[in-house]
């Protein structure tokens, strides 16, 4: 009987510890991938919820026909992304690492590409700004003490803010005001990072 009681207490205490699995309070990292370089911070909002804020320079693989003929371009990006890590408790129970927010997540990736500059853009094409909101599924894992890798995929919506007389006059309103183009957009990423 005593062994059964001790076993129940042990299982309950392990379960209670697992229920306290939480994202890190604040993580700063630098990440790179096939198409960019980013500096980001993930801050805890709740045990399973973090907010990623990020600045970087990237190639957007879904830039649309507003850059037709522009070649391979890099542009700045500002991102806010609430991330819900849904399997931290399970990973903790199974003895897997959750350090540096190692787990699977769903998020709402909100990115803004400002029209500040673009690297490798032809002179006759004007830079446009765009805002995208993309529901995303992803994962993040730790290698050693400081290195991480992550991947994710999603599908969402983007608004491209076109300028008057844009791209040789193909996209403009008769009154000369800016016009917008709405598009559905896929999203995919694979990144390696260093966490401070």
What pLDDT is recorded for position 46? Answer: 95
What pLDDT is recorded for position 61? Answer: 64
CA angle 53, 189, 31 (to 5 degrees): 50
Residue 57 to residue 86: CA distance in whole angstroms: 29
- 3-class DSSP state for residue 10? helix
Do 183 and 171 touch, CB atoms closer than 8 A?
no
Nearest to residue 157, comparing CAs of 181, 180, 134? 134
Do 51 and 42 touch, CB atoms closer than 8 A?
yes
Half-sphere exposure of 1 (CA within 13 A, CB side): 0
Do 143 and 192 touch, CB atoms closer than 8 A?
no
Structural domains for the chain: 2-195 (2.40.160)
Residue 24 to residue 192: CA distance in whole angstroms: 19
Half-sphere exposure of 190 (CA within 13 A, CB side): 1
DSSP state string for 90-129: HHHHTT---GGG-EEEEEEEEEEE-SS--BT--TTS---E
Task: Write the CB contacts of 69 (distance below 8 Å, at least 6 apart in sequence).
Answer: 122, 125
What pLDDT is recorded for position 147? Answer: 96
What pLDDT is recorded for position 116? Answer: 87
> Token match 């096939």: residue?
34
Q: What is the pLDDT along the chain (196 residues), one digit of tens a residue?
A: 555 445 545 544 444 444 578 999 999 999 999 889 999 999 999 999 999 999 999 986 655 555 666 667 788 999 999 999 999 999 999 999 999 999 999 999 999 999 888 777 666 666 778 999 999 999 999 999 999 999 999 999 999 887 665 444 454 444 455 567 888 999 999 999 999 9
Going by their DSSP bridges, the two strands 147-162 and 129-143 should be labelled as antiparallel
């Amino acid at each position: 009987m005593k062994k059964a009681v001790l076993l129940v207490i042990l299982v309950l205490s392990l379960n209670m510890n697992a229920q306290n699995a939480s994202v890190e309070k604040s993580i700063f990292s630098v990440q790179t991938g096939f198409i960019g370089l980013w500096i980001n911070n993930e801050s805890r909002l709740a045990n399973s919820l973090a907010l990623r804020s990020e600045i970087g320079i990237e190639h957007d693989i879904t830039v649309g026909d507003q850059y037709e003929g522009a070649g391979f371009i890099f542009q700045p990006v500002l991102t806010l992304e609430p991330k819900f890590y849904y399997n931290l408790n399970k990973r903790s129970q199974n003895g897997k690492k959750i350090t540096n927010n190692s787990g699977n997540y769903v998020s709402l990736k909100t990115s803004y590409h400002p029209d500040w500059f673009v690297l490798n853009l032809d002179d006759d094409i004007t830079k446009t700004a765009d805002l995208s909101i993309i529901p995303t599924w992803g994962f993040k894992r730790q290698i050693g003490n400081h290195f991480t890798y992550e991947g994710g995929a999603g599908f969402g919506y983007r608004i491209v803010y076109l300028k008057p007389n844009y791209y040789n006059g193909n996209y403009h309103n008769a009154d000369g005001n800016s016009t917008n183009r709405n598009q559905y957009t896929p999203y995919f990423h694979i990144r390696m990072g260093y966490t401070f």
